[in-house]
Amino acid sequence: MAIAAKTAKLFANGRSQAVRLPREFRFAGKEVAIRRNEETGEVVLAALPAEPSAVSFDKWIALYSALPDDASEEQVAKLPPAPKNLTTEQLYKIFDAAHFPADFMADRKTSMPREFDLF
């Protein structure tokens, strides 16, 4: 059973071409995946896969804090994505929990600032 083809309107949007999709073909979100079938020339739009479910900040920071000091990049990559739109307090919690090697920035030449007699 063949499905009847529908049409969609094309229009210019700046220097791009856009397609106005009929209601029954609309996508959720702001982006779609796009590919062209090289054999047929068909352009296919597809919904993007759903983002991994977000975890709460408290759960994420607990998972991050549980990592050993010598955690590999693979171990860190297995963490769920960090929550977005963090508060200043949450950012400071991340800085406090951050793991830095003992020789972090050891190659930097630092000295105490000079003291000046202002008056």
Dist. CA 9–CA 15, nearest whole Å: 17
Question: What is the per-residue pLDDT for 17?
Answer: 92
Q: Is the pTM of this model over 0.75?
A: no
Q: Domain coordinates of the chain in residue numbers?
A: 9-47, 57-97
Contact status, residue 34 vs residue 64, Cβ threshold 8 Å: no
Question: What is the per-residue pLDDT for 51?
Answer: 66
Contacts of residue 112, defined as CB under 8 A and 6 or more positions apart, other chains included, come to none
Question: What is the per-residue pLDDT for 36?
Answer: 93
The whole-number average pLDDT for the span 1-8 is: 75
Chain segment 47-100, per-residue pLDDT in tens: 887 766 668 888 888 888 888 878 888 888 888 887 878 889 988 888 888 877
Contact status, residue 43 vs residue 36, Cβ threshold 8 Å: yes
Would you say residue 12 has pLDDT above 90? yes
